[in-house]
Every structure is written in C-alpha cells, then in structure tokens.
A and B are shown apart, each in its own frame.
Chain A
Amino acid sequence: MSQATANAKVRVMSGNEACAEAAIAAGCRFFAGYPITPSSEIAESLARLLPAIGGKFIQMEDEIAAMGAVIGASLAGAKAMTATSGPGFSLKQENIGFAVMAEVPCVVVDVQRGGPSTGLPTMPSQGDVMQARWGTHGDHPIIALCPRGVRETYDLTVRAFNLAERYRTPVILLMDEIVGHVNEKVSLPDRIQVVERGAPAEPPAEYLPYRVTPSDVPPMASFGTGYRYHVTGLAHDETGFPTNDPHKIEQLIERMHRKIERHLDDIVAVDEDFQSGARLGVFAYGSTARAAARAVREARERGTAVSFVSPTTIWPFPAEAVRRLAESVDRILVAELNRGQLTHEVEWAAAGRAEVTGLWRVNGEPIRPADILDRIEQEAS
C-alpha cells in the first residue's frame, strides 16, 4: 500500500467545476446566469470564485436577461460567460443572434439534458446539436465545441474564450450531463495560452466599429475607454448604424461568415484515428465518444479493423475529416444521443463515398461501449 499522502497536483473534479475554473484561468471576469440542472454547478462554482478575484457574478431573473447581461459586460470589455441547459438555451437564442450580429465575444455553455421542453433534467442527451447551430434565426456562422471528459472540458473552455475573442463571436460550449457531472482524476495545466482582445489603433474620432479589415475581424473598442459607437441587431454599415443598402448588407453578412470560414484550420479540431484495411469507420463526439473509444479498442483487440473519427469542434462541421474517412471505408457508423442530428451532416459530408448508418438513443440512458461494439461487429461482418 502507498503512503497515502495527498498529491497536490491531482484533483478529482466534475466537468462543471472544470469549466468554471477554466473560465477564470482564461480571463473570464463576468458571469450572469440562472441555475438549471445539470449546469448549476458552473454557476455555483463561479458564485464563489469570481467575487474573490474582483469579478462579477450575477444571478439574473431569467436566462434571457442573463444572456443580455453577458453581451453588455463583453461590450464593456469583460470576458463574459453564461451557462445553462436545454430550456434555458432556448430562451437565450434571440440574444445569441444579437451577439452574432453585433460581433460580441462571449461563451455560452449548454450542458445538454434530455428534451424536448423540460424533458429529463438529470439525464444525458446530445439533443441540442442542431439548436447550437440553428437555434437563432437567420444565416449566421457559429462555433460550437464538444468536450468528452473533465480535463477536455477545461481545455475547451479556455479554447472557447480564445476563439470568441479572436473572431469576435459567441462560442457555444456544448457539454452533456455525463461530462458535466462525472468526477474524474485530473491534473490541471500550470500554464495556458490566453488570447486577449485587441484595441483599436485609431483615435475615437476615426474609429469605425465594423470596418472591413484584411483579417475580417474589426478591432473592438470597449465602452468606457472613450470610444462611442452604435450597437444594433439591425443590419448595419461600418459605423454600426442601420442600413438598407444591399451592397453594405452583403458586405457585412459575407464578412461575418468569411471570418470563420477562412480560419477552419484554426477552429476545427478533430481526432482522426485511421486503421489501414478498415472497411468501417466510427464517428462520435461528447461523452458518447468515450463509449465509442472503448468499443473501437475492444473491436481491434478482437481483430476487427475499424477507423475512428471524433471531433471536439462540431460547428463548423468537420466536413474534411469526414470526407477523408468516407474515402477510406465502406461504411460509417455515427453514435449519438439524439435522433441523428449529426448523422445527417456526416451523410452530407460523405456525399455517397461511404454508406452512413446511425446508432441513436433518446431515452435518457447513455450509449454504452457494448452497444457500439455489437453494431461494429454487425456492420463489419
């Protein structure tokens, strides 16, 4: 037996606690939210951590107001976050659209539970995948990251803040109940890379808040630093004031998409584990990817060749990785806790190069390694 002395670097923590601590490490100094299972421990942790370092924690009257407060805080220069689950994520959608249109960096955490409506508060789901993409109306780009475990929740929370600041956009951290509530042994990094918001180089009188720049990301001025400008959800020109000029509208909307689409190499992260001779590929993300990883390992131990693709960025969709997978196998099995929300995206990206089939579950139970292993053996035979 060991001496049983505490290893100070090792901790047992949940995904929700890791998210809260990572937010602080990434520079988050403002949280507004409304508690909801299974995300509440994020708010609970930040209610304790933020005031202690001079940050602000506000429990708002509802999720709509919480999203509004986050946008306001970000415009005033704070790195800001909110956290919720399905029903609350629905309420936030209108203001998420505002943040996209006004190009306000922020992080929105959705710890997915079973839906629709209040659904299954304490049970896991991946049913908000399409809501993360299209929950707010209109043609808009979005970034959504999907962690598979506690340590990855820490890393992706930091990454969510960095991407939000770099591209002036809301970033959705799409967790699930398993990842949020599981306690795992982790050691957190001593140093992380943090992206800070740039300031405009020009004086306030010359500042154009939505100027078209070579990077497509206009420098953002914080309110309270002498810069005044108009912020609106209406289509606007470079000054930020509303416009109906088709040329200026197109310039805005196209730039908003381009700033994300030009940087897929930086934004899209996906683990590709191809095995030569594999005729079957497995695609899974979030907590389901943990079950898939085990099933893939066991299938290989039994002598079945199988490739495995597991993204941590789900929006923009990792279409290139799926195309590479589809070119190397005959069939792709997509395992997810919904009725095929990403299966259809995989099918679109595979474009007939491989047959796509789904293993879906919507009853509140997780997909287990044995379920996936059974399907792998069925599909591979």
Chain B
Amino acid sequence: MSFHYEIRLSGEGGQGLVLAGKILAEAAAIYDGINATQSQSYGPEARGGASRSEVILSDGDIDFPKAQNLDLLLALTQESCDKYARDLKPGGLLLVDEDAVQNVPEGQFRVWRIPMIRLAREKLGRQIVANMIALGVITQAAGIVSEEAVRNAILARVPKGTEQINIEAFELGVSLAKEMAAQSQA
C-alpha cells in the first residue's frame, strides 16, 4: 500500500519538537527503510517563540519537504493549535496538550486530548520529556514506523545518562495512544 504521511509538531521553542521530529525521521529512514524528511521553522529566539517541526513519511520520493496537508498535528500551545488546525486534512488527527490547549477549534478531524506536559512532570519527574511522550503517542497513532525503530533512534540520539527516562516517556506515550484508540472505538 502506498503512503504519504505528514506530521507537524508545534509549540514553543525549548519543548524539544525539532529533536522529536528528527528522531522520528531517523527511526523511519535508518531502521525501517522508509523515506523521511524533517524540517523546522522557528524564530530568532533561543527559547520561547513559536516553533514547529515537520516530518514527512513516504514509501516514494518526497519531492517537496514541507508539509501541506497534515495527517497529524501535535499542538502543545493554544497559539499553535489555533494557527495550524486548519492545515489538517479531513479525518486527520489533532493531538493537543490537554492543559495547554483549552479551546479546540471545530473541524473535520479527530481530537485526542492528553496532558502530556503534566504527565511528564508527575509520572517521570521531568517536564522536558513531554516531547518523548508525544513521540510515543504519534508513533502509535500513525502506525507507520515501528516502536523498535523509534526506541533505537532515541537511544542513538539522546544524551548519555538520559536514555532510561526518555524510553520510559516514549513507552508511556505509546500506551496512552493505545488507550485513546480503544476509547474512540468503544
């Protein structure tokens, strides 16, 4: 089956969205043999300011490396949700941080509300791994890149000594996505 899947990770600078996107692209390309591109758009600030990272996964050539019709949008801020929800294709998935995004726009897309930032803080003790929880949710929801590939790519990319917490965060995200999928089918 041929596929072309577009993902945008959006929020603020400093939330690790570029890293999460890069890990997903590396997992796809290096471990699963899938064609992948990752690009980013950010402002001149080192922290804060709008930030977005895009990943395209395809079994064919990716002629244009920027996303146009999103299959999946992650929004970790209200601002990014308001700005990008309209880029979702009908039937796409809007994944929002339940605490940060209070108003979810109307549209022909599915919505998953998960408090990723709070869970990172409360369950893992480090708010900064919210990006890895999101990566777990996205990996499971997209169903294109294998969990094992993403685990390998995380281990190859995160700083030494932080492997365990990042993997735990990723696995939490995968199980949260399984719960969401089960709920929406029920």
A residues in contact (CB < 8 Å) with B? 1-2, 4-7, 10-12, 37, 121-123, 149, 178, 181-185, 287, 290-291, 293-294, 297, 366, 368-370
Measured CA separation A1–B44 after assembly (Å): 40
The residue in B39, B42, B65 that gathers the most chain A C-beta atoms within 10 A of its C-beta is B65
B146→A2 contact, CB < 8 A: yes
Q: How far is the CB of A367 from chain B (nearest CB, A)?
A: 10
A183→B39 contact, CB < 8 A: yes
Q: How far is the CB of B40 from chain A (nearest CB, A)?
A: 6
Q: How far is the CB of A145 from chain B (nearest CB, A)?
A: 19
A-B contacts, 22 of them at CB < 8 A, read: A1-B32, A1-B148, A2-B33, A2-B146, A2-B149, A5-B31, A6-B30, A11-B29, A12-B25, A12-B26, A12-B29, A184-B37, A184-B62, A184-B65, A185-B28, A185-B30, A185-B35, A290-B63, A291-B63, A294-B64, A368-B64, A369-B64
B43 to chain A: closest residue by CB: A122
The residue in A1, A7, A287, A368 that gathers the most chain B C-beta atoms within 10 A of its C-beta is A1
| B38 located at the interface, meaning its Cβ lies under 8 Å from any Cβ of chain A in the complex | yes
A4→B38 contact, CB < 8 A: no
Question: Number of B residues whose C-beta is below 8 Å from A?
Answer: 29
Choice from B40, B44, B65, B149 contacting A4 with Cβ under 8 Å: B149
B63→A293 contact, CB < 8 A: yes
Chain B 28-66, CB-CB to A under 8 Å as 1, else 0, gives 111111011111111110000000000000000011111
A12→B22 contact, CB < 8 A: yes
Measured CA separation A5–B28 after assembly (Å): 11
Q: Is the interface of B mostly helix, strand, loop or mixed?
A: mixed
Measured CA separation A233–B41 after assembly (Å): 41
| B127 located at the interface, meaning its Cβ lies under 8 Å from any Cβ of chain A in the complex | no
List residues of chain A with CB within 8 A of the CB of B32.
1-2, 4
Contacts A5-B31, A11-B29, A11-B30 aside, 11 further interface pairs with beta carbons under 8 A come to A1-B32, A1-B146, A4-B149, A6-B31, A7-B33, A12-B25, A122-B41, A122-B42, A149-B65, A181-B40, A185-B30
Q: Is the interface of A mostly helix, strand, loop or mixed?
A: mixed
B66→A37 contact, CB < 8 A: no
Measured CA separation A1–B149 after assembly (Å): 10
Choice from B28, B43, B44, B63 contacting A294 with Cβ under 8 Å: B63
| B175 located at the interface, meaning its Cβ lies under 8 Å from any Cβ of chain A in the complex | no
B146→A368 contact, CB < 8 A: no
A10→B30 contact, CB < 8 A: yes
List residues of chain A with CB within 8 A of the CB of B152.
4, 6
Chain B 130-173, CB-CB to A under 8 Å as 1, else 0, gives 00000000000000001011001000000000000000000000
